Structure formats: structure tokens, C-alpha cells
């Protein structure tokens, strides 16, 4: 490797090792201090560059890519507040276990706290929200240091992936010259003569990554497997609950466990198990309507489950979380990260092991059979719920009806990103399980309404699937900057914009009748989003009813380019429909 100066050498070495470790894309934002990294990434032939002008959007875009792929896409920004703009996405990545690799450029240490321009304290900027932090030493063409650099690249990738994935932060210090300008080899910023000609591994690297990391898969030990199997075998009313997880339990392992146990499956829309061929193939019901009927009067009389096997994070559905909280039974939580994601404190057993390895090991034994009446109870409740959803959709159009249509009409395959607030709740309640390869993603780690568009577009950039984003109006407003990625990063999407002029979710809270409700909670803004069409070169269309929506949605998912389909609702009316629908289900179930 020939490098004009030590910064170039350092950055090229880091990038080469990341590429050797599997990195094939980067999110770059403009700035001066990051010049060595930016040039090294931009000029690498095997790197696809996603250029972002806004670091907050950049980090959410990288988050979205990682949600879709399970692999980190490095982020590069300059020093100062640029790095702080990564923070919201870092928090989300930390709390939902998504790989991120943050390469923040920084000044040499003597300039910290000196009044130097664009210089802030970037040491451990993201606190405990990262899996690993490293304040990188200043670049130097010294074999031991360069071996450290190569090893650091391998370690950064390993620390951000594996059983407990998350963000990794390397604070990269550079002193001038930052550009690839030649510096004499006897200058401190120069590369010593003969460096490029050596064959030391520090100088040229290895054939492949400098350090190959192999991460084992934790399987439960035999005694644990036997103990859990004994409990499952004696159960009459077992359940499998699949919570949110981007790279969690596979459909194949779920099928094996569900077949062996006969337990109904309650599949969160973010579990990647709500949709897929297993839905029709399994004899046990794969349930998606539980948010609408658990906790209703008709279900009150049901017996509690006597055992629950849970995968993934806490379910999106509050009625399900409460149902599990109130069930006096043994609950096994399988969590490879050992993260104790247990807001209701209902688990009685934590199995720190790989979900597939655990499900497969449990399914290998004979587990007896669960009472048929237990399964039928869920199957009947599901049927009642979905009948009520389609009858209601035929009579009236409400926000939940849009989510029901999106789940039913999304092409196979498709990637769906669903915003926080009511859209994800409505997808949870009204997105009917079906045999289609739908990857449904959301930001439920910290449930922010920021960065939604960018995360969706990042996910879209990592797949050939058609991309659908369902967003609320405040979430759309919050990340309008993210729309620039449509053109700059060449991503197409169908954006379903549910515009109820403010935060419709707040109607569900007791603050609903307080004098401050309108101005400080619902916050109607009256914004007309149509001009985003001209600003971001997309097609914007407002539809008036269900027929129009279904027609435009169907056209858009097959079309090139990006279409924003806005549907306007009154949030109060939508809540009234949700309530009526739930009553209808409860009455039918109570009458059964």
C-alpha cells in the first residue's frame, strides 16, 4: 500500500480491514475532519456509498440497513455536534440490539477543551449505549500500532454483531493534513521510506481479515432441555409467544417447536413470524388478533395458560403483556443476549441461548399433546376477530383499516416499515397473519417518532423487496430531511401517510379532556405535506376512501419511484371504531 501521508495510510488500512470483514457499504456525511476516512471509503472499489447531508438521518438509515441485514453499515461524520446527531439512532440500536459502527472524526487530544473550532468532548459520547468504545490513537506508520488498527477493525465488527448485537463507537483522531496530500517521508505526518515495500502483516494485511472471528451459538445444556421438556410435556394449556426481533427465531424452528408442543403461536408483527408459509402449514393457530380479544370480557373466563415459551423482546401488545402478567404460570424467556427485556417481570426462567438452538433442542423430544379445546379457543377467537375486522372495514374506513389493507395487499415478498404511535399498534391488531414473505420492521427499542423515514429507507436500500412505509403525520414531519435519501441513495418506496393532524395516540390517554390537550398533546399543525412532492421529487397523492386507497396502493407497490399516499382521518373517529370493533368481538366471544 502506498500512501501519501500517515492519515491516508491509517484510513485506508481501517477501510481495507472492514471490507475484509464483510463491510460493503458506508453512510458518509460531509465535513473536514473526517476527510481521511471519507476519501478512503469513497475511493474503495468494493464500497457502496450512501451520502447523507444530515447525520441524524444518516444514523437512522444505517440502523434500517442493519435491521434488514443483521450487519452494520459504518457511519462517518466530522467532529462536533455532527457526532451528537447520531445519538437518537444509537439509543434505538442499543435498546433493540441492532449493529451500528460509528466512526466519528475528532481533533488531536491537546485541542480538547481549548476553544478550538468545532471541538467538543467526544469521549464516550454515547455513554453506556454502545457495546464497545475506543478512543483511537493518532495515526502513525508504526507496525505495532497498525496491527492494533487492523485488530480493532475486526473487533469492532465482532462486538457489534453476535449474540448481543449493538452499536460500537470508534473516535478517530486526525491532525492535519487531512487530505491525501504527499508529505515527505521524514516528516512526522509522512510514511517512512520502505513502509510500502515491506511484507510485514502490519503493512500489507492478510489474505482475508486480519483476525477471523467465529462466534459460537449458545445452546441450552441437556439438563435444562430435559427440565423444560418435562414442563412442556405436562402442560395442557401452553403458548408460544414471539415478540419483536429482527434476526430472531426462524420460521423453521418455530414450526418444529409448535408441531412438537401443539401450542398456539402468538406472533408479534415485528417477530418476523406473523407472516410466512408456516402460517398455513401449521396445525396450531398462528394468532395475530390477540391484541383485540385478550383482556376482553369473553376471554376473562378462559383458564390461564400453564406454561409460556417466549422469544424476542416484550410484545408490542399491551393486552398480551397484561395477559401474561396476570397468568400464574411458568414462563420461559429465551434471550440470546441475556438482556432481561422483561418490563412486566413475568418470566420465571431465563434461558440465555440461541432461539433456534433452543427451539430445536426442545422439539427433539416427545412433548405430549396439549388439550385440543385450548387450541380451538384461540382459533375461534381469531376467527371472530378477523370476521369483525373485515365487516368493519366494509362499513367504514379508519386508521386500522389502512393497516389491515396494507398487510393484506402487500406484495409477496415485501419489506414493511411501520412507524410508532398508532400505526404499529394498528398493524399489531389488524394485520392478519398470511402466507407471504413480509418482513415487518419498526423502531420499538426506544419507540421514538424520530428517524422513521430514514430507518425505513435504510431498510429498503438493503433489499430488492418493494418497500412500504406506514407513518403518522408527526413522524413524517419529524424526519422530512430523511426523504432526501430517496434520490441521493436511490431508494423507491410506497409511503402511506396517515394524516390525522397531530398525535392521534393522545386521545387514548386521560389527558384527553384537559384544557391543554389540543395545544400541547394532540398538537394539530395544519401542515400541507403536498409540497414534499416538488422538494423531494416524489409523487404525492391524497386519497379519499378505501377503494381509492386500495387501488393506489396496489399500483404504487408495482411502480418505480416513490409515491406518498396520504389518507386523512379524524383520530377521535378512528378510536371510536377501534372501540366498537373490540366490543363486537367481546360480545361474540362472551356469547359463545
Among 13, 341, 421, 563, binds ligand TPP (CB under 6 A): 421
Part in contact with ligand TPP (CB under 6 A); list of ranges 49-57, 92-100, 330-338, 472-480: 472-480
Taking the complex as a whole, the smallest distance from the CB of residue 474 to Mg ion amounts, in Å, to 5
272 binds, among ligand TPP, Mg ion, none (CB under 5 to 8 A by kind): none
97 binds, among Mg ion, ligand TPP, none (CB under 5 to 8 A by kind): none
Can residue 224 be called a binding residue for ligand TPP (CB under 6 A)? no
447 binds, among ligand TPP, Mg ion, none (CB under 5 to 8 A by kind): ligand TPP
Distance of CA 77 to CAs 121, 170, 178, 225, 465, Å? 15, 11, 14, 47, 29
Would strands 25-28 and 48-51 be described as parallel, antiparallel, or unpaired? parallel
Report d(CA 423, CA 146) in Å as an integer.
Answer: 49
Report d(CA 152, CA 562) in Å as an integer.
Answer: 40
Whose Cβ is closer to Mg ion: residue 253's or residue 500's?
500
Cell (9 digits) for 170: 470508534
Can residue 473 be called a binding residue for ligand TPP (CB under 6 A)? yes
Among 449, 470, 484, 582, binds ligand TPP (CB under 6 A): 449
Among 504, 564, 574, 588, binds Mg ion (CB under 5 A): 504
Nearest one of 251, 218, 231 to 332, comparing CA atoms: 231
Can residue 504 be called a binding residue for ligand TPP (CB under 6 A)? yes
Can residue 474 be called a binding residue for ligand TPP (CB under 6 A)? yes
Among 388, 438, 475, 538, binds ligand TPP (CB under 6 A): 475
Whose Cβ is closer to ligand TPP: residue 74's or residue 269's?
269
Report d(CA 326, CA 75) in Å as an integer.
Answer: 44
Among 500, 556, 563, 588, binds ligand TPP (CB under 6 A): 500
In DSSP notation, 255-290 reads HHHHHHH---EEE-GGGT-SBSTHHHH-SS-EE--H
Within positions 353 to 392, which residues make up the interface with ligand TPP, using CB under 6 A? none
Report helix angle 571-591 to 372-395, nearest 10. 140
Part in contact with ligand TPP (CB under 6 A); list of ranges 98-106, 117-125, 384-392, 418-426: 418-426
Whose Cβ is closer to Mg ion: residue 287's or residue 474's?
474
Beta bridge partners of 333: 310, 350
Can residue 450 be called a binding residue for ligand TPP (CB under 6 A)? yes
Among 448, 460, 466, 482, binds ligand TPP (CB under 6 A): 448
| DSSP 8-class letter at 137 | P
Report d(CA 102, CA 118) in Å as an integer.
Answer: 18
Part in contact with ligand TPP (CB under 6 A); list of ranges 161-169, 332-340, 357-365, 442-450: 442-450
Can residue 472 be called a binding residue for Mg ion (CB under 5 A)? yes
Burial tier of 282 (Cβ tally within 10 Å: 0-12, 13-18, 19+) = middle
475 binds, among ligand TPP, Mg ion, none (CB under 5 to 8 A by kind): ligand TPP
Report d(CA 406, CA 250) in Å as an integer.
Answer: 23
Q: Which conformational region is residue 588 in: left (phi greater than 0), alpha (psi within -120 to 50 degrees), or beta?
A: alpha
Among 351, 416, 422, 585, binds ligand TPP (CB under 6 A): 422
Q: Phi and psi of 115, rounded to 5°? A: 85, 5
Contact 344, 314 (CB under 8 A): yes
Strand, coil or helix: what is 541? strand
Taking the complex as a whole, the smallest distance from the CB of residue 22 to ligand TPP amounts, in Å, to 32
Question: Residue 541: CB partners within 8 Å, gap ≥ 6?
Answer: 552, 563, 564, 565, 566
Whose Cβ is closer to ligand TPP: residue 7's or residue 500's?
500
18 binds, among ligand TPP, Mg ion, none (CB under 5 to 8 A by kind): none
By beta carbon distance, the residue nearest ligand TPP is: 472
Nearest one of 292, 291, 288, 289 to 583, comparing CA atoms: 292
Kindly determine how many residues on this chain lie close enough to bind Mg ion according to the rule CB under 5 A.
4
Taking the complex as a whole, the smallest distance from the CB of residue 426 to Mg ion amounts, in Å, to 12
Part in contact with Mg ion (CB under 5 A); list of ranges 44-52, 119-127, 148-156, 472-480: 472-480
Burial tier of 150 (Cβ tally within 10 Å: 0-12, 13-18, 19+) = buried
Taking the complex as a whole, the smallest distance from the CB of residue 43 to Mg ion amounts, in Å, to 44
Whose Cβ is closer to ligand TPP: residue 5's or residue 421's?
421
Can residue 500 be called a binding residue for Mg ion (CB under 5 A)? yes
Beta bridge partners of 208: 206
Q: Tell how far CA 480 is from the center of its chain.
A: 19
Can residue 447 be called a binding residue for ligand TPP (CB under 6 A)? yes
Report helix angle 55-69 to 87-96, nearest 10. 20
Report d(CA 127, CA 125) in Å as an integer.
Answer: 6
Can residue 473 be called a binding residue for Mg ion (CB under 5 A)? yes
Part in contact with ligand TPP (CB under 6 A); list of ranges 115-123, 365-373, 419-427, 543-551: 419-427
Whose Cβ is closer to Mg ion: residue 383's or residue 568's?
568
Question: What Rg, from alpha-carbon coordinates, does the chain have?
Answer: 26
Please give the residue ranges that form the binding site for Mg ion (CB under 5 A). 472-473, 500, 504
Please give the residue ranges that form the binding site for ligand TPP (CB under 6 A). 419-422, 447-450, 472-475, 500, 503-505, 571
Amino acid at each position: 500500500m502506498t500512501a501519501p501521508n500517515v492519515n491516508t495510510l491509517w484510513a485506508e488500512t481501517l477501510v481495507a480491514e472492514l471490507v475484509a470483514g464483510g463491510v460493503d457499504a458506508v453512510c458518509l456525511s460531509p465535513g473536514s475532519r473526517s476527510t481521511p476516512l471519507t476519501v478512503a471509503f469513497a475511493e474503495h472499489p468494493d464500497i457502496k456509498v450512501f451520502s447523507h447531508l444530515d447525520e441524524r438521518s444518516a444514523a437512522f438509515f444505517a440502523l434500517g440497513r442493519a435491521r434488514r441485514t443483521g450487519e452494520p453499515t459504518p457511519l462517518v461524520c466530522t467532529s462536533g455536534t455532527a457526532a451528537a446527531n447520531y445519538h437518537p439512532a444509537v439509543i434505538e440500536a442499543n435498546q433493540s440490539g441492532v449493529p451500528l459502527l460509528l466512526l466519528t472524526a475528532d481533533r488531536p487530544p491537546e485541542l480538547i477543551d481549548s476553544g478550538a473550532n468545532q471541538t467538543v468532548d467526544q469521549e464516550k459520547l454515547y455513554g453506556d449505549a454502545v457495546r464497545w468504545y475506543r478512543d483511537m490513537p493518532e495515526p502513525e506508520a508504526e507496525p505495532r500500532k497498525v496491527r492494533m488498527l487492523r485488530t480493532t477493525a475486526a473487533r469492532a465488527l465482532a462486538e457489534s454483531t453476535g449474540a448481543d448485537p449493538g452499536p460500537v463507537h470508534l473516535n478517530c483522531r486526525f491532525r492535519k493534513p487531512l487530505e491525501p496530500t504527499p508529505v515527505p517521508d521524514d516528516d512526522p505526518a509522512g510514511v517512512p521510506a520502505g513502509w510500502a515495500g515491506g511484507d510485514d502483516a502490519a503493512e500489507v494485511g492478510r489474505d482475508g481479515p486480519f483476525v477471523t472471528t467465529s462466534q459460537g451459538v449458545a445452546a441450552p445444556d441437556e439438563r435444562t432441555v430435559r427440565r423444560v421438556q418435562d414442563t412442556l410435556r405436562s402442560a395442557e394449556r401452553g403458548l408460544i409467544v414471539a415478540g419483536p426481533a429482527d434476526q430472531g427465531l426462524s420460521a423453521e424452528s418455530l414450526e418444529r417447536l409448535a408441531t412438537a408442543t401443539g401450542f398456539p403461536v402468538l406472533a408479534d408483527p415485528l417477530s418476523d413470524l406473523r407472516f410466512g408459509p408456516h402460517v398455513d402449514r401449521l396445525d396450531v393457530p398462528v394468532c395475530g388478533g390477540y391484541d383485540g380479544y385478550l383482556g376482553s370480557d369473553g376471554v376473562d373466563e378462559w383458564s390461564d395458560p400453564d406454561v409460556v415459551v417466549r422469544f424476542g423482546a416484550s410484545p408490542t401488545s399491551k393486552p398480551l403483556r397484561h395477559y401474561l402478567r396476570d397468568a400464574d404460570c411458568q414462563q420461559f424467556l429465551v434471550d440470546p443476549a441475556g438482556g432481561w427485556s422483561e418490563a412486566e417481570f413475568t418470566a420465571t426462567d431465563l434461558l440465555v441461548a440461541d432461539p433456534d438452538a433452543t427451539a430445536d433442542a426442545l422439539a427433539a423430544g416427545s412433548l405430549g399433546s396439549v388439550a385440543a379445546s385450548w387450541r380451538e379457543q384461540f382459533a375461534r377467537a381469531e376467527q371472530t376477530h378477523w370476521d369483525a375486522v373485515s365487516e368493519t372495514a366494509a362499513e367504514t374506513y379508519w386508521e386500522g383499516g389502512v393497516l389491515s389493507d396494507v398487510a393484506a395487499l402487500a406484495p409477496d415478498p415485501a419489506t414493511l416499515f411501520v412507524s410508532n404511535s398508532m400505526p404499529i399498534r394498528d398493524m399489531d391488531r389488524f394485520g392478519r397473519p398470511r402466507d407471504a414473505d413480509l418482513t415487518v420492521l419498526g423502531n420499538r427499542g426506544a419507540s421514538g417518532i424520530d428517524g422513521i423515514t430514514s430507518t425505513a429507507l435504510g431498510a429498503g436500500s438493503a433489499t430488492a423487496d418493494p418497500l412500504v412505509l406506514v407513518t403518522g403525520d408527526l413522524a413524517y414531519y419529524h424526519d422530512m430531511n430523511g426523504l432526501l435519501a430517496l434520490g441521493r441513495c436511490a431508494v423507491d418506496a410506497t409511503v402511506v401517510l396517515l394524516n390525522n393532524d397531530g398525535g392521534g395516540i393522545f386521545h387514548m390517554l386521560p389527558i384527553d379532556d384537559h384544557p391543554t390537550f389540543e395545544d400541547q398533546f394532540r398538537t394539530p399543525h395544519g401542515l400541507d405535506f403536498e409540497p414534499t412532492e416538488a422538494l423531494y421529487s416524489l409523487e404525492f397523492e391524497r386519497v379519499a376512501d378505501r377503494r381509492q386507497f386500495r387501488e393506489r396502493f396496489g399500483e404504487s407497490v408495482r411502480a418505480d419511484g416513490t409515491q406518498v399516499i396520504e389518507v386523512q382521518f379524524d383520530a377521535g373517529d378512528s378510536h371510536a371504531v377501534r372501540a366498537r370493533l373490540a366490543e363486537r368481538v367481546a360480545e361474540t366471544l362472551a356469547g359463545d
